[in-house]
């Protein structure tokens, strides 16, 4: 796959708008929609995401009349289109004519039509039909002046990220053949001599359906890789058609934040603009912390370029067990948080609240009460405010800290069988590490394990279970050049075929970290173990290890009790101009903050009194910094003083420290290079 040069969205403003489903409304309503969109400051609308059955009512019969009218109407109102290829939902006729298009679960059960995404990613029948539709749309609307961006499919993997049907099995075999070359190669890589699994030919391999007992881990992890690749291949095939017909138009597919099932590094390489759908839970007082990490990933997927928040809820969603609305001000705050983290706009699901279907209780910009609804008032207000933030468009976020996300390790460590503990979860650990950096005041980028690491000073690796020599070399070079690297437990365990590294963990990271792992000591459920660090005792979570440091490796913390008492829990090894730290336990919140405080101090990265309610993020164009001060708390507070700064939202001078209401935000423009995110709040 060649990496395309990113094209830009054709929109000369921060994007504002949402998903629009005109098919669900009589045409009289469209004119009102267009008028109200203008009133709200909407300049971009996503459609027709789920309209395939209307665009192609019968096989090969096209009906674009309705879509023509709606696009023209919006364009007459100056609104541009994020044009979906509408391939996320095959029509009933396709599924009934070709039931083999339907996906199967691991138990071999075919998943019925009646929801959305009713397709197997590997189905040639589905692909052919989807590409026909993509081409028809590209040919029809490629020259339309309203076309700003291609929106391929919708949230790949949302409902169906893995398929175990016979077609997927055939595709999996082809994928394995390309990866291993020969069946002998596969037998060796998979270690099939264990439990008598040797294969004579690729034909004998099935995807890992529900089996008699634990399935070969190499097969399990290869199936994760394959399944991500199968959707990527489908995505790429649509991208190829779009590039052929409309080479100038930027392409995206909407991501789902830190989503385990798809390797977003690889997906981002195939598109021009990274877009994300973000649904932080208003009922979770810490949801903004997780959101910050998601947004760190989004900007990092394309080397710090701006991305776009393509979906968020104006208030409540309809798919959690309990769907709590956003409190007044919370939607604005969450929107501006995304902009702070590099999003060049704010988009919603959806424009007009549905009257029927599974999303009728999902909030919308224009709720069931229409112009009388609270979300409408807040939608209009935000649209107006966004225009004041125009100077931030195209600027980039400053971050000195990055966190490594590696999907191979994520898949490996979250296998549901045959692991030392089922309690170690990559995402939970990544979030815990990130939360400590957040509390200490540092925005965090996300990096690939093999780099590049840009000019980050600190690299956090909560877990790198499946480490390669290439990654180890890149991490080594980062430290040698002066970086502070922190690696978490259960790293460097296996290679990419689930084979344990010779000599044990941390495998290729052994010299750099200067430790050897003798045994893993996961915490039993309900068990307790503590670590003493800098005179304070911290409780541990989930994990512990018996490690032995090499000569020259400093021991900074030790287990304080239990079978591991007095053994090292945190080590540091100097290397070149930097240092490599190893943490042999899951730590509680205070403990993680203590570790990162020490690391940040060693790196010359500023820290503040821990605070999870105040977030300060700076975007810059090199000459002017735009410092977003976000109060995620329900108490009013004062923003730090930023001399020479002016709040773009209010025009108020920020020199004396701005008052921030509960959920308040200030966006302070000031001359670049002031370390604004290091100042203490007044």
Binding span for ligand GAL by CB under 6 A among 72-80, 164-172, 183-191, 311-319: 311-319
As a whole number of angstroms, the distance between CA 81 and CA 44 comes to 5
In this complex, which beta carbon is closest to ligand GAL, that of residue 349 or of residue 581?
A: 349
Q: Annotated binding residue at 319?
A: yes
- Tell me how far apart the alpha carbons of residues 348 and 157 are, in angstroms, rounded to a whole number: 20
154 is in an annotated binding site: yes
Looking at beta carbons only, is 230 or 278 nearer to ligand GAL?
278
**Secondary structure element (H or E) that encloses residue 211, with its range:** none
Which one, of 98, 148, 106, lies nearest residue 124 by Cα? 98
For position 277 contacting ligand GAL by CB under 6 A, the verdict is yes
CB nearer to ligand GAL: pick between 354 and 556? 354
User: Does 281 sit near ligand GAL (CB under 6 A)?
Assistant: no
Q: Return the residue matching tokens 């298009």.
A: 101
For residue 558, the tally of other CB atoms under 10 A from its CB is: 17
User: Segment contacting ligand GAL (CB under 6 A): 154-162, 290-298, 455-463, 511-519?
Assistant: 154-162
Among 32, 158, 206, 516, binds ligand GAL (CB under 6 A): 158
E-only strand ranges, 15-86: 15-19, 44-47, 80-84
Q: Which of 87, 153, 154, 300 binds ligand GAL (CB under 6 A)?
A: 154
Residue 271 interacts with ligand GAL (CB under 6 A): yes or no: no
Binders of ligand GAL among 458-487, rule CB under 6 A? none
Q: Phi, psi at residue 211, to the nearest 5°?
A: -120, -175
Contact residue for ligand GAL among 317, 509, 533, 629 (CB under 6 A): 317
238 interacts with ligand GAL by CB under 6 A: no
Starting at the earlier edge strand, list the strands of the sheet with 254-255: 251-252, 147-151, 80-84, 44-47, 15-19, 343-348, 307-311, 275-277, 254-255
For residue 17, CA distances in Å to 8, 311, 342, 350, 507 come to 18, 9, 17, 8, 49
| Residue 540 · residue 523 · CB < 8 Å | yes
With H, G, I as helix, E, B as strand and everything else as coil, classify residue 466: strand
Structure tokens at 544: 């512990």
The region of 77-85, 310-318, 334-342, 633-641 touching ligand GAL under the rule CB under 6 A is 310-318
- 58 Cβ neighbours under 8 A, 6+ residues apart: 93
Number of residues that bind ligand GAL (CB under 6 A): 11
Residue closer to ligand GAL, measured from CB, 158 or 554: 158
- Determine, following the binding rule CB under 6 A, whether residue 261 of this chain makes contact with ligand GAL: no
Of the ranges 94-102, 209-217, 309-317, 611-619, which one interacts with ligand GAL (CB under 6 A)? 309-317
Q: 155 an active-site residue?
A: yes
On whether 543 is known to bind a ligand per the annotation, the reply is no
C-alpha pair distances (Å), 194 with each of 179, 189, 216, 417, 494: 21, 12, 9, 16, 16
Nearer of residues 69 and 320 to ligand GAL, judged by Cβ: 320
Residue 674 CA to chain centroid, in angstroms?
A: 29
229 near ligand GAL, rule: CB under 6 A: no
- Decide: is 272 part of the binding site for ligand GAL (CB under 6 A): no
Q: How far is the CB of 363 from ligand GAL (least distance, A)?
A: 9
Segment lying near ligand GAL (by CB under 6 A), choices 151-159, 444-452, 547-555, 569-577 = 151-159
Comparing CB distances to ligand GAL, the nearer of 117 and 530 is: 117
Catalytic residue among 56, 155, 219, 385: 155
> Least distance to ligand GAL from the beta carbon of 40, Å?
19
> ∠ at Cα 616 (613, 617), nearest 5°?
135
Q: Judged by CB under 6 A, does residue 311 bind ligand GAL?
A: yes
Q: Which one, 349 or 438, has the nearer CB to ligand GAL? A: 349
Residue 244 bears catalytic tag: no
120: annotated binding-site residue? yes
Residues 396, 647, 393: CA angle, nearest 5 degrees: 30
Under the criterion CB under 6 A, does residue 349 sit at the interface with ligand GAL? Answer: yes
Q: Which residues contact 275 (CB under 8 A, 6 or more apart)?
A: 151, 252, 253, 254, 255, 307, 308, 309, 310
Q: What DSSP state is assigned to residue 390?
A: G
Residue 194 marked ligand-binding: no
Which run of H or E residues covers position 32? helix 27-40
Query: How many beta carbons lie within 10 A of that of residue 2, not counting itself?
Result: 6
Out of 155, 229, 263, 615, name the contact with ligand GAL by CB under 6 A. 155
509: which DSSP letter? G
From 311, 359, 385, 400, the catalytic residue = 311
At its nearest, how many Å lie between ligand GAL and the CB of residue 362?
Answer: 5
Q: Does the annotation place 463 within a ligand binding site?
A: no
| Interacting span for ligand GAL (CB under 6 A) from 34-42, 132-140, 150-158, 266-274 | 150-158
Q: How far apart are CA 177 and CA 605, in angstroms?
A: 47
What one-character-per-residue DSSP string does 99-135 give?
Answer: GGGS-B-TTSPBPPSSSS--S-TT-HHHHHHHHHHHH
**What minimum distance in Å lies between the beta carbon of 245 and ligand GAL?**
25
Site for ligand GAL in 359-398 (CB under 6 A): 359, 362
Give the residues lining the site for ligand GAL (CB under 6 A): 154-155, 158, 277, 279, 311, 313, 317, 349, 359, 362
- Positions marked active-site: 155, 311
Residues annotated within the binding site for Zn(2+) are 120, 163, 165
Residues annotated within the binding site are 116, 120, 154, 163, 165, 319
């Amino acid at each position: 796959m060649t990496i395309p040069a990113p094209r830009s969205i054709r929109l000369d403003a921060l994007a504002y708008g949402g998903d629009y489903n005109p098919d669900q409304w009589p045409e009289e309503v469209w004119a009102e929609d267009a008028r109200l969109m203008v009133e709200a400051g909407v300049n971009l609308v996503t459609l027709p995401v789920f309209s395939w059955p209307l665009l192609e009512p019968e096989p090969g019969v096209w009906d674009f009349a309705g879509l023509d009218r709606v696009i023209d109407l919006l364009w007459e109102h100056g609104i541009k289109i994020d044009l979906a290829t509408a391939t996320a939902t095959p029509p009933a006729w396709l599924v009934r004519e070709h039931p083999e298009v339907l996906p199967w679960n691991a138990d071999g059960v075919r998943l019925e039509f009646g929801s959305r995404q009713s397709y197997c990613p590997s189905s040639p029948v589905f692909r052919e039909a989807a590409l026909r539709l993509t081409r028809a749309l590209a040919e029809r609307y490629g020259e339309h002046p309203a076309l700003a961006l291609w929106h391929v499919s919708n949230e790949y993997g949302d409902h169906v990220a893995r398929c175990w049907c016979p077609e997927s099995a055939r595709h999996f075999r082809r994928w394995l053949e390309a990866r291993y070359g020969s069946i002998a190669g596969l037998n060796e890589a998979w270690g099939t001599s264990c439990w008598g699994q040797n294969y004579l030919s690729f034909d004998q391999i099935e995807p890992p359906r529900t089996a008699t007992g634990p399935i070969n881990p190499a097969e399990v992890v290869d199936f994760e890789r394959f399944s991500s690749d199968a959707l990527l291949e489908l995505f790429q095939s649509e991208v190829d058609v779009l590039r052929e017909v409309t080479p100038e138009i930027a392409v995206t597919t909407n991501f789902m934040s830190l989503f385990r099932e798809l390797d977003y590094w690889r997906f981002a390489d195939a598109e021009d603009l990274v877009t994300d759908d973000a649904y932080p839970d208003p009922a979770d007082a810490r949801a903004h912390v997780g959101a910050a990490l998601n947004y760190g990933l989004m900007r990092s997927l394309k080397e710090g370029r701006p991305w776009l928040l393509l979906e968020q809820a104006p208030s409540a969603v309809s798919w959690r067990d309990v769907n709590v609305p956003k409190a007044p001000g919370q939607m604005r705050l969450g929107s501006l948080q995304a902009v702070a983290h590099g999003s060049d706009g704010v988009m919603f699901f959806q424009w007009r609240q549905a009257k029927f279907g599974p999303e009728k209780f999902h909030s919308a910009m224009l709720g069931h009460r229409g112009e009388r609804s609270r979300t409408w008032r807040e939608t209009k207000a935000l649209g107006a405010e966004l225009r004041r933030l125009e100077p931030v468009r195209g600027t980039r976020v400053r971050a000195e800290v990055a966190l490594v996300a590696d999907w191979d390790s994520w898949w490996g460590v979250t296998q549901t069988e045959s692991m030392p503990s089922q309690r170690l979860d990559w995402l939970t650990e990544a979030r815990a590490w990130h939360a400590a950096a957040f509390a200490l005041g540092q925005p965090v980028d996300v990096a690939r394990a093999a780099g590049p690491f840009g000019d980050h000073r600190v690299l956090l690796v909560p877990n790198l279970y499946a480490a390669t020599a290439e990654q180890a070399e890149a991490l080594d070079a980062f430290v040698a050049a002066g970086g502070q690297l922190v690696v978490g437990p259960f790293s460097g365990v296996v290679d990419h075929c689930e084979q344990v590294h010779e000599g044990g963990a941390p495998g290729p990271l052994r010299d750099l970290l200067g430790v050897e792992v003798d045994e893993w000591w996961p915490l039993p459920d309900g068990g307790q173990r503590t670590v003493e660090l800098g005179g304070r005792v911290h409780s541990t979570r989930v994990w512990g290890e018996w490690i032995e440091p090499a000569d020259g490796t400093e021991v900074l913390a030790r287990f304080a009790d239990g079978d591991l008492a007095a053994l090292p829990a945190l080590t540091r090894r100097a290397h070149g101009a930097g240092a490599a730290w190893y943490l042999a336990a899951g730590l509680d919140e205070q403990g993680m903050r203590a570790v990162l405080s020490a690391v940040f101090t060693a790196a010359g990265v500023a820290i503040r009194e821990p605070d999870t309610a105040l977030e300060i993020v700076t975007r810059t164009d090199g000459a002017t910094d735009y410092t977003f001060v976000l109060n995620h708390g329900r108490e009013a507070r004062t923003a730090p003083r930023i001399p020479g700064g002016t709040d773009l939202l209010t025009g108020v001078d920020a020199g004396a420290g701005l008052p921030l209401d509960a959920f308040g935000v200030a966006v302070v423009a000031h001359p670049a290079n002031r370390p604004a995110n290091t100042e203490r709040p007044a």
